Amino acid sequence: MQGSAPSRPATAEEEAWLDAQEFLDHAHTQWLYASDGIATAAQDAHGFEDYGFENSEAFGMMRDVQQASEFLVNREIATKASFHRLSSMRKSALKLVSIIDEAIHTVVQNERNAALEKIEAVMQMKNECEEVAIAERMQLQSEVALLKQQGECLVDLLEQEKDKSICAICFTRCTSTTATRASISTREQIELVRAADAR
């Protein structure tokens, strides 16, 4: 049975080569990280220009929220993200919640103001209708009072005309009776004169 080769210390040349190989591996890893970072930054910058955001931080938060939304359907993805990445997503999500809360407050306040304006308009219309109703009622009362006064005046005129008619009838009757009596007296006198002449 062949035994294993005895270990020996590496030569200086071999140590240098191993160090160089380790440096190259580390450099390659760093280059991969840098490439990923550059690609992500370029993608963010391109998206930033397309969306026209005021600052790249807001665009980065939007990307965090978009990526974090995948956790809603697949939680295992969250366990594969780094702590730094999860912290960034959490910060962006809290910022989004704050923005939504402010928007809700603004919308509720605007709806409340709109409702108050409608209520104020309805109350103003109600007051105007009441004022118009009061004015029309007063005008109607004035017209009723005027008609009542005119009716009373008409009744008085009718009474006066009735009295005049009665007086006119009485005067006619009295005149006719007097004339009749005068006519009778005249005939009697003529008869008396004729009788005296016959004698």
| Position 118 in a domain | yes
Provide the pLDDT for residue 101.
92
| Position 149 in a domain | no
Split into its structural domains, the chain has a count of 1
Percent of the chain with pLDDT over 90: 12
| Position 198 in a domain | no
The amino acid sitting at 151 is G
Provide the pLDDT for residue 197.
64
Provide the pLDDT for residue 72.
85
Q: Which domain holds residue 74?
A: 13-139
Q: Which residue has the tokens 């929220």?
A: 65
Provide the pLDDT for residue 1.
42
| Position 92 in a domain | yes
Model confidence at 85: pLDDT above 60:
yes
State the pTM of this model: 0.44
| Position 47 in a domain | yes
Cα separation, 68 vs 95, whole angstroms: 13
| 75 secondary structure, DSSP code | T
Model confidence at 126: pLDDT above 80:
yes
For residues 36 and 159, which has the higher predicted lDDT (pLDDT)?
Answer: 159
Q: How far apart are the first and last CA of the chain?
A: 221
Q: What is the mean pLDDT of the chain?
A: 74
Provide the pLDDT for residue 77.
84
E strands, 27-175, are none
